[in-house]
Amino acid sequence: MVLEDEQQPHFTFITSTESFADLQVKPDYVKANTHFFIWTRRSPSKLVELKTGNVSSLNESGYDKNLPTKIFAHGFEMNGYNNEEVMNIRDEYLKREDCNFISVDWGKLAKGINYVRAVSSSVIVGEFTGDLINFLVEQGSVLKNFHVIGFSLGAHVAGKAGATVNGLLPRVTGLDPAYPLFSMENTDQRLDTSDAEFVDVIHTNSGNLLQASLSFPQAIGHIDFFVNGGHSQPGCGFIISGGITDLLGACSHTRAPLYFTESINSPVGFKAVLCDTWAHFKKGACSGNTAELMGEPISKKSYGVYYLATNKKSPFAE
């Protein structure tokens, strides 16, 4: 997809602390700035790094090959080791079950220097993540125990990880997958249904940049949830064409990981129904249709486009 000039994201500035050489997307540079941090119930807060191919670091990390493994890839302007959203997801998973929680940290590549570079880097970061999974499987893990989750650009990292593994991941979850500079046609670069047995996608800020939106407006998974219509979230102000009341959709965009985090241990759950449009959902025309829980507790048996409404503040599940 080629965006018109007025649609190009304004992330192409360079800071005084970065050189032009750093803007080049070279695999060695990306690899040097991609890290995998692991937390378990036995080590819930200590920062421990896994290194692909390094058996010693794996043995010393506390990783348990017999446990479920959750891998999370962050988005633009985030990191994977002290970001609040990432740490909250980690804490909820460790509260829910005994598991390995691995964070993909590519913060230096995803930080506000050049969005174009971040897009290009996401593909390579995804490949390295897939290589890590292959290494863990070689060391005795079972592929069916892996679930890879990604937010924004990280959703495409997750997708590329799924495309790289030897075999087929059981599940990849995309949280408001980034849309600028991606296209429906180029499935090699973006998250798509070939990346796992089951791909679930949560949309909270769908549309294009002219609509102050940051994520895919189309359904790209086996099941897609369009929360509150998928474009603007309650409590985030109004998003109108040409208006920037939601700081280019930042609030609505970041609701996706908030909803997912809440879903991990929610006593209520985010109940959604199969429906063709948000308008029909609001009218109650789909109330008798198939229902599904959005987020972590999804059944993995439902397919199609689902709609749901939420509260405007936490707890969001109605």
Judged against a pLDDT cut of 50, whether residue 13 lies above it is answered with no
Least confident of 43-52, 102-111, 243-252: 243-252
Q: Is 253 a catalytic residue?
A: yes
Whole-number mean pLDDT of the chain?
90
Cα 241 to Cα 125, 249, 251, 265: the distances in Å are: 33, 11, 16, 36
Q: Is 314 a catalytic residue?
A: no
Does residue 215 contact residue 221 with C-beta atoms inside 8 Å?
no
Query: Which helix (DSSP H) or strand (DSSP E) does residue 126 occupy?
Result: helix 115-138
Burial of 225 (0-12, 13-18, 19+ CB in 10 A): buried
pLDDT digits (tens, 9 = 90+) for 147-176: 999 999 999 999 999 999 999 999 999 999
When pLDDT is cut at 50, 70 and 90, the band that residue 211 belongs to is: confident
Q: Residue 162: its pLDDT value, please?
A: 98
pLDDT digits (tens, 9 = 90+) for 39-80: 999 999 999 999 999 999 999 999 999 999 999 999 999 999
pLDDT digits (tens, 9 = 90+) for 273-298: 999 999 999 999 999 999 999 999 99
How do the domains of the chain map onto residue ranges? 5-308
Q: Residue 246: its pLDDT value, please?
A: 54
Q: State the Cα–Cα distance between residues 116 and 236, nearest whole angstrom.
A: 27
Residue 178 DSSP class:
B
Q: Residue 5: its pLDDT value, please?
A: 31
Judged against a pLDDT cut of 80, whether residue 182 lies above it is answered with yes
- Of 190, 193, 176, the C-alpha closest to 260 is 176
Q: Which of 152, 232, 252, 263 is catalytic?
A: 152
Amino acid at 117: R
Q: Does domain 5-308 have CATH number 3.40.50.1820?
A: yes
Whole-number percent of the chain with pLDDT over 70 = 88
Judged against a pLDDT cut of 70, whether residue 12 lies above it is answered with no
**190, 195, 197, 198: CA torsion to nearest 10:** -20
Q: Residue 217: its pLDDT value, please?
A: 96
Q: Which of 176, 192, 195, 200 is catalytic?
A: 176
Judged against a pLDDT cut of 60, whether residue 243 lies above it is answered with no
Q: Which of 156, 253, 263, 266 is catalytic?
A: 253
Q: Is 280 a catalytic residue?
A: no
